[in-house]
Amino acid sequence: MKYGVLGTGIVGQSIAGKLAQVGHEVMVGTRDVAQTLQRDNADAMGNPPFKVWHQQHPQVKLGTFAEAAAFGEIIFVGISGGRTLDALEGAGANNLDDKILIDIGNALDFSRGFPPTLSVCNTDSLAEQIQRAFPQAKVVKTLNTVTAYVMVNPGMVPGDHDIFVSGNDARAKAKVTEILKNDFGWKSVIDLGDITTARGVEMMMMQWINLMGTLKTPLFNIKVVRAQG
């Protein structure tokens, strides 16, 4: 399978690295390839620049947003929420039509500092905005409720815990569930329903930030416990 991964930050790196590790062909997309490869500074979390990661993963191709979107049979969007729609415009609707578009972003607004607020919530979601902007794409929301490392290695959090999918296309959600289980190692994937259910998981991010501050680690997740009988 060929995958396009939009975004060169730690989320994009984690997704692309795991997909390549399990044998898929992967191209990471960025706005400006030359600028991305020239960047020398670590990110806000202290992660090394993309070019260091890319040297360690030479099998992963690098291209523009449009090139990565055209390359991928399935597209992961690993870009911060506020820049997602612009990046997808750069990718081109014709490169996204009829493809599964996996949205793992959160619409976090840091304009007033930390902690952030949500730029969209309650009656809308980033996933819904993407689906409206690209109606021919099959948008599936998932993985936004855990940190990047746990996205592709849920075993970093011991015990049973859950990840969620939301989307309008049942076949697309089934395929994403297959990827989550077979490629990333998730054991429990809960289908929440149509794309409007992405509102709930996106708003969970505020609680996630609170928990990270309290627990002093991003390596945690939520388990939905069902009553028996």
For residue 190 the two structure tokens come to 């809960």
Q: What is the pTM of this model?
A: 0.95
pLDDT in tens, 171-189: 999 999 999 999 999 999 9
Instruction: Identify which has the larger pLDDT, 169 or 112.
Output: 169
- The torsion region of residue 165 among left (phi > 0), alpha (psi -120 to 50) and beta comes to beta
Nearest to 98 by CA among 63, 60, 72, 125: 72
Q: What is the pLDDT of residue 35?
A: 92
Which CATH superfamily groups domain 2-215? NAD(P)-binding Rossmann-like Domain (3.40.50.720)
Angstrom distance (rounded) from CA 53 to CA 57: 6
pLDDT band at 33 (very low <50, low <70, confident <90, very high): very high
pLDDT in tens, 91-115: 999 999 999 999 999 998 888 888 8
Which residues does 115 contact at the CB level (< 8 Å), separation at least 6? 206, 209, 210
Angstrom distance (rounded) from CA 28 to CA 71: 10
Residue type, 138: K
The predicted model gives 149-155 an average pLDDT of 98
Q: What is the pLDDT of residue 48?
A: 85
Give whole-number Cα distances, 32 to 5, 8, 38, 71, 82, in Å: 15, 11, 10, 17, 18
pLDDT in tens, 175-225: 999 999 999 999 999 999 999 999 999 999 999 999 999 999 999 999 999
Pairing mode, strands 100-103 and 188-193: unpaired
Q: What is the pLDDT of residue 141?
A: 98
Statement: residue 164 has pLDDT above 90 = yes
Q: Say if residue 95 is exposed, middle or buried (CB neighbours under 10 Å; 0-12, 13-18, 19+).
A: buried
Domain segments of the chain: what residues? 2-215
The mean pLDDT value of the chain amounts to 95
Half-sphere exposure of 104 (CA within 13 A, CB side): 26
Statement: residue 147 has pLDDT above 80 = yes
Statement: residue 47 has pLDDT above 90 = no
